[in-house]
Structure 1
Amino acid sequence: MISTSQQIAFINLFPLSSIILLVALIGAIAIARQ
């Protein structure tokens, strides 16, 4: 059984990774436009 603290850490990881991907994508577009 998954503990509550593990579930919280798992849920918190998803927004963080999606933000990193979004920033990387915006950075790649900015570099490509130059």
Structure 2
Amino acid sequence: MSKIFSEKDEVDEETENVNNGKNDMYLEMIGKVAEEL
């Protein structure tokens, strides 16, 4: 993307990526637990 982000947008995007990563890990954990049941 050639769109120029302001610093705040950049921080928001980073936070969003971190939250998405946490959600992925959480879903993965639930998936593993569900498989074991």
- Give the structure-1-normalised TM-score: 0.69
Query: Which of these residues, 7, 14, 32, is aligned with residue 28 of structure 1?
Result: 32
Identity %: 10
Aligned positions, number: 31
- Structure 1: which 5+ residue stretches go unaligned? none
Whichever structure has more helix as a proportion of its residues is 1
* Root mean square deviation, CA, Å: 1.0
Q: Which residue of 1 aligns with 2:12?
A: 8
Q: Which residue of 2 aligns with 1:18?
A: 22
- Structure 2: which 5+ residue stretches go unaligned? 1-6
